[in-house]
C-alpha cells in the first residue's frame, strides 16, 4: 500500500511525479472507489494509533509525563475503535473478520469497554469522586468550615495494556493493508479495461479543503 508519485497542491489538485508516461490523474467513479477509499481511511487511523503506542513505549513512566502518556494511550484507543464504530460516511471494520481466536475477541471487547465507559464517557468506577465535609469540634463556629471533593482514577496504562493494544492494532493494520492491496488490484484491473478516451473524459480528483464552516456537516462521501 502506497501513494508515492502523486502529490497534492495547496488548492487540492493532484500532480503526477513518479510516472514518466503519466499525462492525467482521473477520479475513479464512487461506485468503484468507495471501498478502496474507506480502507485507506481505516489504514490512516490505524497508523496513527500505532504511532501513538510506539511513542508511548519510548516515554519513561515518570510523574511529570503522566499526562502525556495518558493522552497517547487514549488517542491510540480512540483512533483504533473509530475504525470499528458506526459512521455515516464510511463502512466499519468487523471484529470477527480480523480476530479469530476467543482470547483476541475478549481483549478487543475489554478495551472497547475501556473506550466506551472510561475514555470517551465517564460511566464505570475507573473514575470516582467523593464529597466530604470537615466537621469542627463542638462549640466551634462554623460547625463545617469547608467542603471538599477527592478524585480517584485508575491507571489505564500497564505493560499488559500496551502489549494488548499494540497486538490489536498490528493485526488490524495487517488485515486492512492486505484488503487494500487486493481491492486496489481489482480496481486497477477494472479501469485498465476502459478505453483511453473514456479515462481522459473522467473528472480530475479533488479534495475539499476543510474549514470551520464544515465541522458540523457530514462530508459528501
Instruction: Tell me the pLDDT tens digit for each residue of 186-206.
Output: 999 999 999 999 999 999 887
> What pLDDT shows up at residue 45?
98
Measure the CA–CA gap between 112 and 80, rounded to whole angstroms: 10
Looking at every residue in the chain, the average pLDDT score rounds to: 92
3-state secondary structure of 191: helix
Q: Tell me which DSSP letter residue 195 carries.
A: -
Q: Strand pairing of 127-134 and 6-8?
A: unpaired
Task: State in Å, rounded, how far the first CA of the chain is from the last one.
Answer: 21
Cell 501513538 appears where? 52
pLDDT at 174: 98
Residues with Cβ < 8 Å from 211, sequence gap 6 or more? none
Q: Which residue has the higher pLDDT, 22 or 112?
A: 112
**Tens digit of each residue's pLDDT (9 = 90 or more) over 34-84:** 999 999 999 999 999 999 999 999 998 888 899 999 999 999 999 999 999
The strand pair at 127-134 and 146-153 is best described as antiparallel
At 85 the pLDDT is: 95
pLDDT at residue 79, as a whole number: 98
The mean per-residue pLDDT over the stretch 106-128 comes to: 96
| pLDDT score, position 210 | 84
Choice among 15-19, 43-47, 84-88, 171-175 with the minimum mean pLDDT = 15-19
Burial class of residue 173, CB neighbours in 10 A (0-12, 13-18, 19+):
buried
149 in helix, strand or coil? strand
**Tell me, what's the pLDDT at 1?**
61
The pLDDT assigned to 101 comes to 97
Residue 145 has pLDDT above 90, yes or no: yes
- Tracing cell 466537621 back to the chain, one arrives at 135
Greater confidence (99 vs 213) lies with: 99
The pLDDT confidence band at residue 2, using thresholds 50, 70 and 90, is: low
Q: Give residue 120's pLDDT.
A: 95
Residue 60 pLDDT = 87
The answer to whether the beta carbons of residues 142 and 136 sit under 8 Å apart is yes
pTM assigned to the model? 0.89
* For the chain, percent of residues with pLDDT exceeding 70: 96
Instruction: Please report, for the chain, the start and end positions of each structural domain, with discontinuous segments joined by +.
Output: 6-211
Q: What is the CA radius of gyration of the chain?
A: 25
Amino acid at each position: 500500500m502506497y501513494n508515492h508519485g502523486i502529490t497534492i497542491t495547496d488548492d487540492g489538485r493532484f500532480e503526477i511525479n513518479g510516472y514518466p508516461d503519466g499525462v492525467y490523474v482521473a477520479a475513479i467513479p464512487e461506485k468503484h472507489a468507495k471501498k478502496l477509499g474507506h480502507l485507506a481511511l481505516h489504514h490512516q487511523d490505524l497508523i496513527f494509533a500505532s504511532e501513538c503506542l510506539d511513542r508511548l513505549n519510548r516515554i519513561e513512566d515518570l510523574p511529570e509525563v503522566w499526562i502525556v502518556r495518558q493522552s497517547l494511550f487514549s488517542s491510540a484507543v480512540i483512533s483504533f475503535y473509530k475504525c470499528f464504530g458506526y459512521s455515516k460516511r464510511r463502512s466499519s471494520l468487523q471484529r470477527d473478520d480480523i480476530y479469530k481466536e476467543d482470547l483476541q475477541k475478549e481483549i478487543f471487547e475489554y478495551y472497547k469497554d475501556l473506550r466506551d465507559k472510561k475514555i470517551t464517557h465517564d460511566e464505570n468506577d475507573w473514575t470516582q469522586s467523593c464529597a466530604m465535609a470537615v466537621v469542627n469540634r463542638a462549640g466551634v463556629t462554623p460547625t463545617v468550615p469547608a467542603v471538599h471533593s477527592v478524585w480517584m482514577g485508575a491507571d489505564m496504562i500497564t505493560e499488559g495494556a500496551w502489549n494488548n493494544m499494540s497486538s490489536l492494532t498490528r493485526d488490524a493494520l495487517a488485515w486492512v493493508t492486505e484488503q487494500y492491496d487486493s481491492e486496489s488490484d481489482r480496481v486497477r484491473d477494472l479501469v485498465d479495461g476502459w478505453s483511453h478516451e473514456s479515462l481522459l473524459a473522467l473528472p480530475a480528483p479533488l479534495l475539499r479543503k476543510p474549514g470551520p464552516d464544515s465541522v458540523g456537516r457530514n462530508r459528501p462521501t
